[in-house]
Amino acid sequence: MMNLGITSRASNLKYAIRDIVVAAKAYERKSGESPLYLNIGDPIKYDWKTPDFMVDAICEAARKGINGYAPSEGLDELRQAAAEKEKRVNGIDVDPSRILVTTGVSEAIQFLAGALVTDGSELLVPGPSYPPYLSYIQFFGGKPVPYRTVEENDWNPDVDDLRSKINEKTVGIVVINPNNPTGSVYNRSTLKAIADLAGEYELPLVSDEIYDQLTFDKDQTPMVKVAKDVPVIGFNGVSKVYLAPGWRVGYVYFHDGDGELEPLRDAMVRQARIRICSNAPAQYASAAALRSDGSHLKDVMKRLRERRDLIYRRLNEIPSVSSRLPQAAFYILPKIELNGRWKNDTEFVLDVLNSTGVVFVPGSGFDPIYGDGHFRSVFLPPLDMISEAMDRLESFMNSHE
């Protein structure tokens, strides 16, 4: 037998959003029926389309010969377009020369963890949180430390809890706003308090704002607007707002007045050089997306609002299920009263899948503490698919009352 010596850092990696697909495929093989997938935040899996002008732009890029390697930091045109978009949409000034293009925000998280995290270091993340933050921190030998977000307060962070978890091992604070998986939009005063904490303890402040334009009734506040002189590393991209998740184009900006973040920027750029570059034609087309007037969003938000309102109403009518109303994005994180019927949310989600064919994600996959006893659903599918999924879930829960 070959002695491969597989590392625990790789063999123990988990990603709840896609790990559940393994069980869904097993259900499909056994039952012969296609599951109803409500697990992944990919609009293109449902009835959404990338805007035509973007498709035209990526085809034009390929025809124009933009098919070779791009600079590791990203095409200048895209970096300039990202800076223009941040100014136009979010009202903040970003230096295009200090923007790094990444293969989606996921790679930005990897680069951040690779630059900041060492054995034993701790990175503060919202609980619950987007799973790659947890996985990459652990992959590089660190510990993700979740700070409490308060469900009863629309999942806004508990700043006192955050303060209590800062220690000599802490290497940074991550904020995800608007939030995945809760759909929360953080209060401006809360963001200001978090920025003040980062400044007080001289910690880098990371603000993931990939859903910045997908808000319903409450506008998102960019962290830079409240941080003042506290340095901010901002994450964004075209996957969600511009309906192009498969293009894998994200970007990082470094916002500081006196270059305090330059060592971090340099360390992340060095990692970018190793992977050579992100997709060049997609970068070219993403510049067109970021420079667009965003007119596609009116229809997007109208349709998302209808779907959000439907799933929110239906979930709160089901016995032992309750949820806060999402204020952004296309996720909802209902609470399930397990009451000894299931030992945890993972067992609950698997029972729902195997009994009904509906695919949700266990809340503990987003954080074993603050996600526990919950499950995440997307509300991207058409209204009839959402209704069918809720009918099945309601029947399932009624049978367990």
> 387 and 248 share a domain?
no
Q: Tens digits of per-residue pLDDT, 216-244? A: 999 999 999 999 899 999 999 999 999 99
Prediction pTM value: 0.94
> 335 and 370 share a domain?
yes
Residue 2 located in a structural domain: no
Per-residue pLDDT at 13 exceeds 90: no
Find the mean pLDDT for residues 333-338: 97
Q: Tens digits of per-residue pLDDT, 33-65? A: 999 999 999 999 999 999 999 999 999 999 999
Q: Tens digits of per-residue pLDDT, 341-383? A: 999 999 999 999 999 999 999 999 999 999 999 999 999 999 9
> 230 and 102 share a domain?
yes
- CA 277 to each of CA 68, 81, 107, 282: distance values in angstroms, whole numbers, following the listed order: 10, 18, 11, 11
φ and ψ at residue 51, rounded to 5 degrees: -55, 140
Tokens (6 digits) for 12: 């123990």
Share of the chain above pLDDT 70, in %: 100
Residue 96 located in a structural domain: yes
Residue 3 located in a structural domain: no
| Whole-angstrom distance, CA of residue 127 vs CA of residue 131 | 10
Helices (H) and strands (E) in the chain, counts: 14, 15
> 270 and 139 share a domain?
yes
Q: Which domain holds residue 86?
A: 52-290
CATH of the domain at 21: 3.90.1150.10
Residue among 369, 364, 365, 360 nearest 397 (CA): 360
List helix spans (H) across 207-291.
Answer: 223-227, 262-274, 280-290
Residue 249 located in a structural domain: yes
Residue 1 located in a structural domain: no
Rg (CA), the chain: 21
